[in-house]
Amino acid sequence: MRAVSATMRRCGRLLPAAVLLVLVAWCPASAAEDQETTAVLRAARSFLDAEVNRDYGSVYARLAPSSSYVRKHTYEDYAAAARSAQDRIVDYTIVRITYIHDNDNRAKWPCVEKFAQVEVDMVMLHIPSNQRSTINMGLVFLKENGTWYKS
């Protein structure tokens, strides 16, 4: 009887440790990953809200400084194109973050720390016809100097 109770005592101590190990192993993300996910979602919402509100200065400010678009176009270029566009985003739903990963090619993208893709359902308004349509897109975001930007 003593052997059984000693075994049960050992199991009684091991079982909580095993449960804790399983819970830690099944934990969906670390605190750092959660913070990164939150930062990407914040950047995506900020960018898309600026698009919906037609806040051209905020949209341009949320574009990655290293992006080829920003290197080739001034704010004035962007604002003129945005004002004359026949389509615009009037609403959106963020579906999910498709991925977040480190930049493994710093030689090609020296300013980029990480990449992320955000899947978004966007309601587009075709201004001349006043027709709306919903499209699904993957928007790429870049982390530069600790800040997430739209690519």
pLDDT tens across 68-93, in order?
A: 999 999 999 999 999 999 999 999 99
Asked if residue 146 belongs to a domain, the reply is: yes
H/E run at residue 140: strand 131-144
Cα gap 118→78, rounded to integer Å: 22
Strands 131-144 and 87-102 come out as unpaired
Do the domain assignments include residue 136? yes
Average pLDDT over residues 49-68: 97
Residue 95 lies in a domain: yes
Q: How many residues does the chain have?
A: 151
What pLDDT score was predicted for residue 15? 44
Predicted confidence (pLDDT) at residue 51 exceeds the cutoff of 70: yes
Return the pLDDT at 78: 97
State the residue range of the domain holding 54: 30-150
Please tell me the distance from the alpha carbon of residue 47 to that of residue 89, in angstroms, as a whole number: 11
Query: Residue 59's domain is classified under what CATH number?
Result: 3.10.450.50
How many distinct structural domains can be found in the chain? Answer: 1
Q: Residues 91-138: pLDDT tens digits?
A: 999 999 999 999 999 999 999 999 999 999 999 999 999 999 999 999
pLDDT at residue 3 greater than cutoff 60: no
Residue 30 pLDDT? 81
Question: What gap in Å lies between CA 40 and CA 115, rounded to an integer?
Answer: 10
The two tokens of residue 76 are 């004035």
- DSSP, collapsed to helix, strand or coil, labels residue 85 as coil
Write the pLDDT tens digit of every residue in 8-34: 455 555 444 444 443 444 455 588 889
Q: What is the largest CA-CA distance in the chain?
A: 87
Residue 13 lies in a domain: no
Does residue 10 fall inside a structural domain? no
Q: Which two tokens stand for residue 50?
A: 């600026």
Residue 48 lies in a domain: yes
Flag whether pLDDT at 58 surpasses 50.
yes
| In-domain check, residue 64 | yes
pTM: 0.79
- What is the predicted pLDDT for the residue at 119? 98
CA 10: distance to chain centroid?
A: 46
Q: Confirm whether 67 is domain-assigned.
A: yes
**Residue range 59-71: mean pLDDT, rounded:** 96
**Where do we find the tokens 């900020």?**
46
